[in-house]
């Protein structure tokens, strides 16, 4: 772990041979299965068999179920995924309108889901955090989309004290999530010499924690001239600040509110004032992704770099497991001005989408690490990558 990975090929080898241990590869596969089974359970419970006897658009379905309008995005992701894998629900496209129709018997799911959860749990205690987060999404599906549409947004920004631990565990304890912070840290170690770092959407701290741990282990904390940690949740900023200042009292830090949907230079951060903009699973939150990237570019000094450690879509239209729960939040659903070429779905992008938007924002040397094609055989459900580019 101590060497710097300066080339994409070396980074790929490190991911394949060291980072993606068997438990990660197995857990990612099990999680895909768990998602399918949870979605079948929800389909069954909310009565889509009846409602889809005649083909319906997702907007019609959201209205029939009494859900908030934007729940159509949640239903779309769900039905898109199920219809691409099972015959019991069918996607019908006619005259530019997509509808879904119930077709055949709903498969059994309860005992298989229990089995998949046992297998996941058997991989290690921390995988219980993976299970909990999906189960929570299944349990609260109707409540979040119908009764209390801001419920998930409050949890994801630390405003529901009862569920604070759930979100912390989902972003930091779950090994499939912690991998994102480890990957970002290794990429920065290889690509960034030294200077001022701005972290966007730093939240519960997966990015800063893993990066400082790595630099500290190497005795190279002095490569960070100043670390500006930002988020839109004051609670997350305060709790991460508390932890980091206790562990790294001499590090020069700033702790700020920054909304990535507002130009950065309108939030008391000057143009050309940082050398690295870092985000772990946060850049995809941008509604207008190209505008956000242009603002990042303006904030960087010449030669500066963005590093985004991201959940990526291997298939640009396929729902990811965590979206079972994340799609219950307004911010995740509405995080996209869609574009048929570079953002066909909300929120997460594919690597091709990332290369496209970085180019549109004027960046050069855009790269996605690791080389996903190289990992196809050893890790078919690979889902994490670092997207980087230079001003
Ligand atoms: C999936 S979490 C990732 C948090 C952290 N980077 C980690 O990996 O532990 C996304 C983060 O983006 C933040 N966020 C949501 N909307 C935002 C916005 N408009 N501007 C900045 N941050 C935002 C949330 O508060 C949350 O902390």
pLDDT band, very low/low/confident/very high, at 344 (cuts 50, 70, 90): confident
pLDDT for position 1: 38
pLDDT for position 317: 86
* DSSP secondary structure, 333-389, as one string: HT----BTTTBSSSS---HHHHHHHHHHTT-EEEEEES-HHHHTTT-TT--EEEEEE
Q: What is the pLDDT of residues 249-275, one digit of tens each?
A: 999 999 999 999 999 999 999 999 999
Alpha helices in the chain (DSSP H): 8-14, 22-45, 48-51, 58-64, 71-85, 110-122, 127-139, 141-142, 151-156, 164-168, 175-191, 206-217, 234-247, 289-299, 323-326, 330-333, 351-360, 372-375
Report the nearest atom of ligand 1 relative to the CA of 206: 9
Q: What is the pLDDT of residues 110-162, one digit of tens each?
A: 999 999 999 999 999 999 999 999 999 999 999 999 999 999 999 998 899 89
How many A from CA of 87 to the centre of ligand 1? 36
How many A from CA of 259 to the centre of ligand 1? 9
- Of the listed ranges 157-161, 208-212, 306-310, 327-331, the least confidently predicted one is 157-161
How many A from CA of 53 to the centre of ligand 1? 39
> Structure tokens of 7?
């080339």
How many A from CA of 109 to the centre of ligand 1? 33
Find out whether 179 and 384 touch, Cβ atoms under 8 Å: yes
Report the nearest atom of ligand 1 relative to the CA of 233: 25
Tell me the β-bridge partners of 298. none
Q: Report d(CA 353, CA 268) in Å as an integer.
A: 30
**Mean pLDDT within 349-377:** 94
pLDDT band, very low/low/confident/very high, at 4 (cuts 50, 70, 90): low
With 80 as the cut, is the pLDDT of residue 69 above it? yes
User: Which of 232, 256, 311, 383 is the best mutation target for the ligand 1 pocket, counting ligand atoms within 8 Å of the beta carbon and taking the most?
Assistant: 232
Q: 224-231 and 195-199 as β-strands: parallel, antiparallel, unpaired?
A: parallel
pLDDT for position 2: 40
Residues 6+ apart with CB under 8 A from 209: 172, 181, 240, 243, 244
How many A from CA of 167 to the centre of ligand 1? 11
> Structure tokens of 65?
């179920």
| CB-based burial label for 327 (10 Å; 0-12, 13-18, 19+) | buried
Q: Report d(CA 300, CA 295) in Å as an integer.
A: 9
**Residue nearest atom 23 of ligand 1, based on CA coordinates:** 201
User: Which of 168, 172, 178, 201 is the best mutation target for the ligand 1 pocket, counting ligand atoms within 8 Å of the beta carbon and taking the most?
Assistant: 201
Residues framing ligand 1 (Cβ under 6 A): 157, 171-172, 200-207, 231-233, 236, 259-261, 280-282, 285, 331
**Mean pLDDT within 338-349:** 86
User: Which of 231, 262, 336 is the best mutation target for the ligand 1 pocket, counting ligand atoms within 8 Å of the beta carbon and taking the most?
Assistant: 231
Say which DSSP state 318 is in.
P
Find out whether 321 and 348 touch, Cβ atoms under 8 Å: no
> Structure tokens of 363?
């960046």
How many A from CA of 286 to the centre of ligand 1? 10
Q: What domains can be seen in the chain, in order of their start residue?
A: 8-19+173-390 (3.40.50.150)
């Amino acid at each position: 772990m101590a060497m710097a990975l300066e080339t994409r090929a070396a980074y790929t080898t490190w991911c394949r041979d060291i980072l993606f241990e068997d438990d990660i590869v197995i857990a990612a596969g099990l999680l895909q299965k768990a998602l399918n089974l949870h979605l079948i359970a929800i389909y069954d419970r909310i009565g889509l068999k009846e409602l889809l006897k005649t083909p319906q658009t997702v907007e019609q379905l959201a209205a029939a179920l009494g859900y908030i309008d934007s729940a159509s995005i949640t239903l779309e992701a769900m039905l898109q995924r199920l219809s691409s894998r099972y015959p019991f629900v069918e996607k019908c496209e006619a005259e530019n309108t997509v509808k879904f129709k119930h077709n055949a018997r709903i498969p059994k799911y309860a005992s298989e889901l229990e089995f998949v959860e046992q297998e996941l749990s058997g991989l290690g205690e921390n995988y219980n955090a993976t299970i909990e987060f999906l189960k929570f999404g299944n349990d609260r599906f109707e409540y979040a989309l119908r009764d209390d549409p801001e419920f998930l947004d409050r949890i994801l920004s630390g405003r529901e004290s009862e569920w604070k631990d759930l979100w912390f565990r989902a972003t930091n304890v779950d090994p499939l999530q912690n991998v994102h912070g480890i990957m970002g840290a290794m990429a920065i170690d290889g690509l960034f010499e030294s200077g001022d770092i701005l972290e966007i959407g730093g939240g519960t701290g997966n990015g800063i924690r893993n990066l400082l741990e790595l630099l500290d282990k190497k005795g190279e904390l002095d490569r960070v001239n100043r670390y500006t940690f930002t988020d839109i949740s004051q609670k997350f900023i305060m709790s991460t600040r508390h932890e980091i200042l206790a562990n790294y009292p001499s590090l020069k830090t700033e702790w700020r509110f920054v909304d990535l949907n507002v130009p950065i230079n309108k939030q008391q951060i000057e143009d050309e004032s940082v050398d690295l903009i870092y985000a772990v699973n946060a850049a995809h939150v941008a509604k207008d992704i190209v505008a956000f990237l242009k603002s990042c570019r303006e904030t960087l000094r010449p030669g500066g770099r963005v590093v985004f450690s991201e959940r990526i879509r291997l298939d640009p239209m396929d729902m990811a497991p965590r979206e079972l729960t994340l799609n219950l939040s307004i911010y995740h659903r509405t995080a996209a001005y869609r574009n048929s070429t570079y953002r066909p779905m909300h929120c997460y992008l594919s690597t091709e989408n990332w290369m496209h938007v970085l180019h549109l924002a004027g960046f050069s040397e855009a790269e996605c690490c690791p080389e996903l094609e190289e990992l196809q055989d050893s890790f078919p459900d690979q889902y994490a990558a670092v997207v980087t580019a230079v001003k």
